[in-house]
Amino acid sequence: MAIYKAMSARGTGTHGALRNCLKYVLQPSKTDSDTLCYIQGPYDGGPFEPDSVYTSFLTLKNEYGKDSGRQYYHTVISFPPNEKINPEQALDYGINFATKAYAGYQVAVAVHTDRGHTHIHFVINSVGFADGKKFELPRKKLKQHKELCNALCEEYGLSIAVKGRHADGTEFDEGEITAWEKEKYRALLRNDKPSYLCDCAVAIVKSKETATSKDEFISAMAAQGWSVQWSNSRKHITFINVDGRKIRDSNLQKTFNIEITKEVLLNEFKRKIERTKNTATRISERKPEFKRRELTPEARKQRTKKAGRTATM
């Protein structure tokens, strides 16, 4: 299973950042002395030395007079430790991916083998060699690239990424973080800066545990500082905190493995009520019926005598 992600755009607007990124990606200790490297597009620098690749990138930018702004894009494809793919196959996979995903752009492709799992780095020149067009990587294209990863995995006989499941095929637990965005993932995990997105998800999970109706759910959320906009005329549920931040149920579902649509919640409330009724019925059926036993006159005399003897002892 291949996991594709784009690295942060921070600090990608300088020549120094481009040089440092290439030095990291192309260092021999990680790429088995440059045997696991490839350069897509025009390049005549000989061995895959970072400085040579860097010079080639800058030369192309200068040809089109586009040496300002963002200098490069950095993406990574990772395979789980148990994936049956060797470094040479990973390089072939990376070249195949770069040809399709980054056509018309210089790309430094490098397979790293220094960790417990094989992963491929791509450093893309921000200026195209065919027409000088600036490279862009919007969300729509990221989604297409992830679909391409799955298609190539199928072609190479590798496992396929399945939504809601880990690399080993096991399902995510409810509430488990599944955010792809690196910065958002870190914000959700660190304790020094609480995330309102994470707070909302936690409040929802707690409210679901006790609520048996829409009104009870809204009240439980309000007790935790969240107002809920739940209207029959609108498709989504909107949650609003005390600071006025709004979050849609669809955004939470993309970030967490948590089902919170109107239909899902109403069905859960209904099932909870049914379980409560069924439990009460089973208890009542098991409860024994006690009947007062009527004593005969002789039995009453014997009980009275026994009580009198006990009192005089």
Residues lower than pLDDT 50 in the chain: 166, 172, 174-185, 188, 191-194, 287-292, 310-313
Query: Do residues 236 and 249 touch, judged by C-beta distance below 8 A?
Result: yes
Q: What is the pLDDT of residue 269?
A: 87
Query: Do residues 177 and 189 touch, judged by C-beta distance below 8 A?
Result: yes
Query: What's the one-letter identity of residue 205?
Result: V
Measured distance CA(164)–CA(114) in Å, rounded: 29
Hey, how many other C-beta atoms are within 10 angstroms of the C-beta on 237?
A: 23
Strands 37-40, 105-112: pairing is: antiparallel
For 291, counting Cβ atoms within 10 Å of its Cβ (0-12 exposed, 13-18 middle, 19+ buried), the class is exposed
For residue 180, which of 10, 25, 1, 7 has the smallest C-alpha distance?
A: 7
pTM for this structure? 0.56
Q: What is the pLDDT of residue 25?
A: 92
Q: What is the pLDDT of residue 180?
A: 43
List alpha helices for the chain, DSSP H: 15-25, 28-31, 50-63, 87-101, 139-155, 182-189, 196-210, 214-223, 249-255, 262-286, 297-312
Q: What is the pLDDT of residue 292?
A: 47
**Which CA distances in Å does 296 have to 292, 300, 302, 305?**
13, 6, 10, 15
Query: 4: which DSSP letter?
Result: E
Query: 71: which DSSP letter?
Result: -
N-to-C CA span, the chain = 85
For residue 71, which of 94, 49, 54, 46 has the smallest C-alpha distance?
A: 54
For residue 97, which of 58, 54, 144, 130 has the smallest C-alpha distance?
A: 144
DSSP lists the bridge partners of residue 122 as: 75, 109
Q: What is the pLDDT of residue 270?
A: 87
Question: Which domains occur in the chain, in start order?
Answer: 3-155 (3.30.930.30), 173-313 (no CATH)
Contacts of 238 (CB under 8 A, 6+ apart): 228, 229, 246, 247, 248, 249
